[in-house]
Structure 1
Amino acid sequence: MLLTNIITTSAILGAALAAPAPRHHQHQHKRDEVTTTLRNAVTVVVNGAAPTAAAQPIDESAVLNNNADAATTPVTTTLAPANTVAQQATTPAHTEETATSTTAAAAPVSTGGSSSSSSSNVGAGGAKGITYSPYNGDGSCKSTSQVASDLAQLTDYGLIRLYGVDCDQVANVLQAKSSSQKLFLGIFYVDQIQNGVDTMKAAIDQYGSWSDVDTVSVGNELVNGGQASTGQVGQYISTARSALQSAGYSGPVVSVDTFIAVINNPDLCNYSDYMAINAHAYFDQNTAAENAGPWVLQQIQRVWTACGGNKEVVVTESGWPSQGQTYGVAVPSKENQAAAISSIKDTCGSSTVLFNAFNDYWKADGYLDVEKYWGIYGN
């Protein structure tokens, strides 16, 4: 992410330079994936000249939220990502940045998938859907009966999002879901696209039909994590779309990334059939749990605007941790999780897939010790 801010007081600059660099969160969704904590490096340029001493870390949110009343020499701060893809034309964005107020045309409530109206996407669960991972606390695969027991608790949701094809999860969830539920399937490993499609097709042929599938995603937060350029994401989607069509699927194909990755890399708007984004108010640090819904809606509007109003936007992850460290005004607790989920449902539930069905004890504690504790239904 390349972010340039003009700061009009030297006093603000001095305060900002003394603050720590922000850290950004990245969910891990596979048992062998490592949670990454990213930092922004800062170069400060005064009157077009680089400083003689090495620039100190700067708190991005402190700079963005200060009001500059005095007119002094403009100072430009340039925040560059700590990790980039080699020979990549675009800059990878990082997961959750402070969402400053943005004036944008109101985005239409997204339907995504094949549904014809957003209201039809909200079941008794109050949201478009919910995410699900088929792993025990020790990282082993859940059995067919365990998956069935889990899915029995999720019948209020019309859409179940999966991240991969391992652990027979496509077959097991197809057998366990109700006839009215749809699946948001995922190909996690972009170097195994054909294998992912073949695994999906085998499960579909035995336990259902492609009409059970709302959407197929390729990769998760690839640009945000610096794992691919926007052009590479486009190639992955094209490869998957072709393989899926050959397998008999003709529905939407997307690549999920964070809201800020799309805003900073609008080329991503060219590839997915609709924009699938992850957005978590907790990592904004300036948003309390009860305001999570309006914050998520703002990110939907920002992405819709970044894509020129030409693509529908679906939030494919949004939730709140029940345990972990306090981050600004964001406090993890069961009570705050319930407040955040309620706010999201009330504000933009028809466009949001809630994260996550159950706690993921197989994960590392992660940044701010929250990675394990997003489960809405506990264990």
Structure 2
Amino acid sequence: MRLTNLIATTSMIAGAAFAAPAAAPGEGHQHHKDRRDIVTNTVMKEVTVAVTGAQGPTTLSQPSSGSSVAPITPSDSYSRVAPLPTSMVVDSSSESSAASSSSDSSAPSSSAAPSTTSESVSSSQAPSSASSSSSAPSASSTGGGSGTSGNAGSSGFKGITYTPYNSDGSCKSTSQVKSDLEQLEGYPVLRLYGTDCNQVANVLQAKSDSQKVFLGIYYVDNISDGVQTISDAVKQYGSWDDVVTVSVGNELVNGGQAVPSQVGKYIDEGRSQLQSAGYNGDVVSVDTFIAVINNPELCKYSDYMAVNAHAFFDKATPAEKAGSWLLQQIQRVYEACNGQKNVIVVESGWPSQGEIYGEAVPSKSNQKAAIEDIANVCGDDTYVFTAFNDLWKPDGAYGVEKWFGVMSSD
């Protein structure tokens, strides 16, 4: 999409009226339509973060931002979104500044399926000099919803995102979904974006007994129908014990579709209706990590912070450092929420094809390197993006949007 101002702070949009995002006529799938580019300036502090990842303790010395964040402004650079750690110890001192960029990816038109979104932060900060020590509590032990933190499967990840669409954007059949999910048994949780294509029922039928689901209500102008679809599928093919989280809305603030207070109302409405249907688990609204950092009011509403982050769209980060980069963003969100909310990255990956973007090079080998680093550093708290290449999507920025599938051979 064209460059456009991202509404980043409530002060910029106080009093503005936003309609709930609705499906465009003929739009068959529930996900992003537009991509937006932004840049935000942050005040950075040097932080040493100790994390117990999927493969054991890892200590990283990386710059991670403090809580002082300037409003987002338009830019011509793109980026994506990220995950969270199981334990953190923070040393902070001198300040430097860095630029972050973010983008929202787009789904094809009428018969197309959901697309994803993302953001990034430049890793080219000025070095800092001294350091003093303070400690932050473990992210997974902080208040407000666990998101089933710290439970990686044999894949090294908490879960994986899945969209049930063929290359032409048509809906996959129950048997196709079953065949897909047979390849995903190493992922404890399967994240869905919406309720179209009978995907909730199909996935509940096809998943293994040990797997859980993260469900999504994409259109917040029709929360009741989303809750009803989910409830009907759960009653017929499983139980509420199969559901770890339900999201209400996706990147509404990042997309300029709602202010934080509206997001809070959507979450309250969804939570109330889900509880009436028998669900008492976590309810969140997913947004980009930059949207949360610039709008800490969002921390008040979700049971935990579910954010998207992709290192590829930070052109200063090579594939082999994707996990370290993600850990920085996790810490930034954690600090923005004053350590009061657990942080889970519900979408993060690396493309296997596309154009080179600075140090970020799309290739199958680099995808493997990025995924391994993310798993090693913070896979316990990350949903990898995505199961299979999304050939129904447009090429997107740098021609990478179709090519994030970790199970695809091309």
Tell me the TM-score normalized by structure 1: 0.76
* Percent identity of paired positions between Structure 1 and Structure 2: 59
Q: Which amino acid aligns with 2:252?
A: L
Q: Say which of 310, 325, 343 aligns to 1:295.
A: 325
Distance 1:141 1:60 in 2: 33
Distance 2:103 2:182 in 1: 43
- SS of 1:217's equivalent in the other structure is strand
CA contact (8 A) 1:124 1:156 kept: yes
Q: Say which of 214, 222, 225 aligns to 1:192.
A: 222
Are 1:352 and 2:398 matched, yes or no? no
Aligned counterpart, 1:341: 371
In structure 2, the CA distance between the partners of 1:262 and 1:130, relative to structure 1 (3 Å rule), is same
Q: Which amino acid aligns with 1:213?
A: V
Are 1:38 and 2:62 matched, yes or no? no
Coordinate RMSD, CA, aligned: 3.3
Tell me the TM-score normalized by structure 2: 0.70
Structure 1 residues not aligned, in runs of 5+: 4-28, 43-56, 62-77, 84-92
Aligned counterpart, 2:55: none
Q: Which has the higher strand share?
A: 2
Measure how far apart 1:260 and its partner are. Answer: 0.7
Are 1:96 and 2:96 matched, yes or no? no
Measure how far apart 1:316 and its partner are. Answer: 0.3
Measure how far apart 1:38 and its partner are. Answer: 2.9
4+ residue runs of structure 1 moved beyond 2 angstroms? Answer: 29-35, 37-42, 57-61, 93-117
Distance 1:224 1:331 in 2: 25
Measure how far apart 1:231 and its partner are. Answer: 0.7
Structure 2 residues not aligned, in runs of 5+: 1-5, 9-27, 42-73, 79-98, 105-116
- Please list the CA deviations of residues 137-180 of structure 1 after superposition, one character each: whole Å capped at 9, or x if unmatched: 00000000000000000000100000000000000000001111
Q: Say which of 253, 257, 261 aligns to 2:283.
A: 253
- Please list the CA deviations of residues 227-248 of structure 1 after superposition, one character each: whole Å capped at 9, or x if unmatched: 1110110010000000000000
Higher Cα radius of gyration: 1
- SS of 2:375's equivalent in the other structure is helix
Aligned counterpart, 1:264: 294
- Please list the CA deviations of residues 59-88 of structure 1 after superposition, one character each: whole Å capped at 9, or x if unmatched: 889xxxxxxxxxxxxxxxx99x999xxxxx
- SS of 2:249's equivalent in the other structure is strand
In structure 2, the CA distance between the partners of 1:96 and 1:188, relative to structure 1 (3 Å rule), is same
Q: Say which of 349, 359, 367 aligns to 1:319.
A: 349
Distance 2:238 2:122 in 1: 43
Distance 2:376 2:275 in 1: 36
Aligned length: 315
- SS of 1:110's equivalent in the other structure is helix
Distance 1:194 1:309 in 2: 33
- Please list the CA deviations of residues 309-332 of structure 1 after superposition, one character each: whole Å capped at 9, or x if unmatched: 000000000100001111110000
In structure 2, the CA distance between the partners of 1:341 and 1:170, relative to structure 1 (3 Å rule), is same
Q: Say which of 241, 246, 259 aligns to 1:229.
A: 259
